[in-house]
Structure 1
């Protein structure tokens, strides 16, 4: 019964431009988490567009990233508090967001990479998102 379902995990993925890493992370959280997850992404200095390389890379695995928009943190803060906020290389440019857990993933920005290298980053992001979802479901804080 739907009434017995726990609320979905609210996740926010943040990188600088919200055009590559955080967008793919949001997509994988949606793909892998289904109705157990509410996934959002934002940028500390959003570019305003999703990188066409990211769109193509995700299209190769059957996900249409062209439906996503590049957003600022201001645009997603109304969804706070989050169960987890994951930052990716934005350092001090990532302001604090209310969350039960904050995680920093060290992922190179793939925006200037060739497709083969870009796809390696995509696949690495998928593995990190899966690991995060597994930790959230089991109550493990990843430490």
Structure 2
């Protein structure tokens, strides 16, 4: 199942959740991330934290969501927004008919540098709980309505 994680800057939250899905759900999911207005670089604390937690960060990059609206883009099954501004924007038309949901998380990149570690860990913990909740479900066999309902429920986990 292909999952696209969206945020405005694609430097922190979306990068974290992409990596979490690709690590924990490697046999069942392939996650990607993108931004509506990408910063062009992954936040350094995202890379530090993911590295400390054993995630492979070699392919991590900040990119535009336009890449995933192109004709040759992978077809997404689920699109998850992790910031309110991306959730409220008019998204491109994604190939296929992905289920959409919003899993809002405070932006750790908004924290001052001395507080980065705690802010990023807090975001990571919430996103990891949500990813695990989805991975504990038989999402491959759920109909879109049931999957939408479960994704909404999972988005309320803190």
- The answer to whether TM tops 0.5 is yes
Judged with a 3 Å threshold, the aligned counterparts in structure 2 of structure 1 residues 27 and 43 are, in CA distance, closer, same or farther, namely same
Q: Which residue of 2 aligns with 1:4?
A: none
Indicate yes or no: 2:50 matched with 1:50: no
Q: Distance in 2 between matches of 1:81 and 1:23?
A: 19
Seen in structure 2, the aligned counterparts of structure 1 residues 86 and 94 have a Cα distance that, compared at 3 Å, is farther
Distance in structure 2 (CA, Å) of the matches to 1:40 and 1:76: 9
- Give the equivalent residue in structure 1 for 2:79: 85
Residues 35 and 128 of structure 1, relative CA distance in 2, 3 Å threshold: same
CA contact (8 A) 2:22 2:31 kept: yes
Unaligned runs of 5+ in 1: 1-8
Q: Which moved more, 1:18-27 or 1:57-66?
A: 57-66
Match of 1:108 in 2: 106
Q: What CA RMSD, in Å, does the superposition of the two structures yield over aligned residues?
A: 1.9
> Cα gap change, 1:23/1:67 in structure 2, threshold over 3 Å: closer, same or farther?
same
2:11 aligned residue: 19
TM-score, with length taken from structure 2: 0.76
Structure 2 gaps, min length 5:
153-158
1:97–1:84 CA distance, 2 compared to 1 (3 A): farther
**Equivalent residue for 2:126?**
124
- The one-character-per-residue Cα deviations of 1:72-107 (angstroms, maximum 9, x if unpaired) are 011122435311000122133351443331010111
Describe the shift of the 1:17–1:51 C-alpha distance in structure 2 as closer, same or farther (beyond 3 A): same
TM-score by length of 1: 0.84
Aligned to 1:35: 27
- Taking the aligned partners of 1:96 and 1:128, their CA distance within structure 2 comes to 25
Deviating above 6 A after TM superposition, structure 1's stretches of 4 or more consecutive aligned residues are none
